[in-house]
Amino acid sequence: MRDRKIDDFFLFLDFDGTLVDLAPTPDGISVPDDLTDLLARLHRRLDGRIALVSGREVATLERFLPDFAGDLYGAHGAESRQSGRLTRHPLVGSAVVADVQAQARKAAAAIEGLTLETKDTGAVIHYRGVPHAEPEALTAAVRIAEAAEGMEMHRSKMAFEIRPADATKAGAVRTAMEGQPDHIRPVVIGDDVTDEEAMEAALERDGLCIRVGDGDTCAAYRLPDPAAVRQLLHGWVTEGAV
């Protein structure tokens, strides 16, 4: 990595698969004991320039990390908590989202082993427990998304999500970087295909990107797992350099 001081960073971190290990179900994750303190130290060191950018909803992130003081971008950018102020996508609470959830519920019930996760911004069909059902799950997710105005289907790890078409992690990075001095560089660390768009947005500002795990990536660097990410972040906040 280039010789840089982390004091010039704006750090954007994914949550599942990046800071915490993935689990068979969304609620099955375990938050490491030292994560809260690590994020607090980074928040102080970076003068608040740290944000979580996740597919999770803001309320869920707050439940897992109630003391996190940085900004939160949830539901892939469809929600944000900036300086304590919550903003949500116009489709939240709409008939469009309600219909997407109803159709996804039917699809999940029709295919044994699928798990449905509903969000205020859409629905996620998980097939982690039944990998062989991926084609059927994909067909259902595409059908639901194509019938829902303003919604799109996106792939993630062992899941298909139907969410607002204009909600992106790239948009979250660009929004957060607005007004930042030229010497501040975005740093994106993520593990999923949905993080790639955030990395591309970071590269527009001469940023630094790290991919966690395998998969195609635009990132120049790679780490094997969340434990390695936390170890790297510990080193950064302690030594102050990359």
Q: Which residues are part of the catalytic machinery? A: 14
3-state SS, residue 18: coil
239: burial class by Cβ within 10 Å (0-12, 13-18, 19+)? exposed
3-state SS, residue 117: strand
Q: How far is CA 143 from CA 100, 139, 160, 162, in A?
A: 10, 6, 12, 10
C-beta neighbour count of 203 within 10 angstroms: 16
Backbone angles phi, psi at 79, to 5 degrees: -130, 150
